[in-house]
A and B are shown apart, each in its own frame.
Chain A
Amino acid sequence: MEIQFDRVVSSLQSGLSYLGNTLKISVIAILLGTIIALIIALVRFYRIPVLSQVFAFFVTVYRGIPIMLILLIGHLLYVMYFDSVARALHLSVTIKDVDIILLGYIILTIGGIPSISETFRGAMNSIDKTQFEACYSVGLNTSQSLRRIILPQMLPVAFPGYINNILGIVKGIPLLSAVGIMEIMSGALVPCSVSYSYLEGYAATAIIYFVLITIILAASKRIEKYLMRYRVITNE
């Protein structure tokens, strides 16, 4: 069997037509996941009673389950209960009116939260206690300290791990094809079902992902440099 480049090209085209979907899912899952993860990390860092324990339980459970299973279970629940939940909330929608991509947003957000929140929490723990005390001693309140001093120091520490978490989310997107959500991989495989050129389809998917992730990494390098600007190491 030989790889036929024209089929790779047609898979690339077909896959890229779903690039929008993939980006939409990535951006929403990353943004939403980051915000929720940050809240969870802060609640657990400050040991806010009850919430802290609830989140710790949530994180432990979701870390212990493969994301594929979360997806399949989520999909079944979605199919079984969407209509009744919508009715209970007095929404005039049924499952047929809603793009199943919604499930993709939810599952990947949930899938990303545990690892991102642990990355943030670890980075918070690495900050010297005196930094907090110094904030208080000059009269900053907790939210001012967080915004102006603590988070700007936490982010560069968290960043390498955070980028890993993000890549995990992006690379998790092909899993969504298992429940019929169209994204790059399922798009790239559309022509293959006719021509049986699956190797070409997978190769095309790999190429698109590789380029996408290379772009993310290049951008992350710049951001990291910016975040690290105060950690100057001199040889003087």
Chain B
Amino acid sequence: MIAVEHVKKSFGKQSVLKDVSLEIDDGDVVVILGPSGSGKTTLLRCINFLERADEGNLLIINERIDLHSAKRKEILNVRKRVAFVFQNYGLFANKTALQNITEGLIVSRKVPKDEANKKGEEILEWVGLLDKKDYYPSQLSGGQQQRIGIARAVALDPELILFDEPTSALDPELVGDVLSLIRKVAKKGIPMVIVTHEMSFAQEVANKVVFMDGGVIVEQGTPKDIFYHPKEERTKKFLERVLIQEKEIYYI
């Protein structure tokens, strides 16, 4: 089991996370919903130390790591176990598709080069992009780049994958490919936390939905609970707004 406990973070005077705790069980797919500025992305970034929390702990398989004052070694340890998928892909611009996947394996995990390349090719095959292995990110479409971003995360055999709005930088027609790849990752049983605005995808893929607003978790439960029987007023309002917008798209 992985958990974050009592995470607090503020930027200057603005408090972005006010005591957030979240549990992620084995094989869980947790989707975090919420309006922009609710702190969902900051929460993910704090877990991977891309942002230093002011307070809070990360509990990862019987190890408790202080999100505020962890030492360099502990941070590296967390990053070796927790992978991150970026909103704007974050592929290394000077590395080919294959090298993007093998970089972390070879440099950080000391996997021999041949072995890393073999694994990289297997994963590229798995995401359907083996033919692009020698392409640089600038030669790939956004959807292809994000699929490689996901492949890079999966290749590291992480204990948790964090997805930070993985489809919001994509052209609408490319979103489907990336979402179906995330479904495929979920089937592998790797626990994941996904911040997304894709409501129908959230309903289908998640087994736990978390609604955040104003730096706190307002409500959490199964997709059915949250989407059909929300208890909190704020959740209802948010869902009404987004779901109406989604419906309107069909009429346009």
Binding site for B on A (CB under 8 A): 128, 130-131, 133-141, 144, 148-149, 152-153, 230-234
Give the total of B residues in contact with A, Cβ under 8 Å.
28
Contact of A138 among B50, B138, B152 (CB under 8 A): B152
Answer whether A134 and B107 are a contact pair too, CB < 8 Å, given A149-B95, A233-B138: no
* Cβ B107 vs Cβ A230 within 8 A: no
* Cβ A138 vs Cβ B94 within 8 A: no
In the bound complex, residues from chain A placing their C-beta under 8 Å from that of B90 are 130-131, 133-134, 137
* Cβ A152 vs Cβ B94 within 8 A: yes
Q: B93 at interface (Cβ–Cβ under 8 A)?
A: yes
Interface readout for B89-110 with A: 1 if CB under 8 Å, 0 if not?
A: 1111111000000011001110
In the bound complex, residues from chain A placing their C-beta under 8 Å from that of B201 are none
* Cβ A136 vs Cβ B79 within 8 A: yes
Binding site for A on B (CB under 8 A): 48-50, 72, 76, 79-80, 83-84, 86, 88-95, 103-104, 107-109, 136, 138-139, 152, 156
Answer whether A153 and B108 are a contact pair too, CB < 8 Å, given A133-B86, A140-B103, A232-B136: no
* Cβ A134 vs Cβ B91 within 8 A: yes
Contacts A137-B50, A139-B107 known; list 18 others, CB within 8 Å: A130-B89, A130-B90, A131-B92, A133-B50, A133-B84, A133-B86, A134-B90, A137-B48, A137-B83, A137-B86, A139-B76, A144-B108, A148-B107, A152-B94, A230-B93, A230-B138, A231-B93, A234-B139
* Cβ B136 vs Cβ A139 within 8 A: no
* Cβ B88 vs Cβ A130 within 8 A: yes
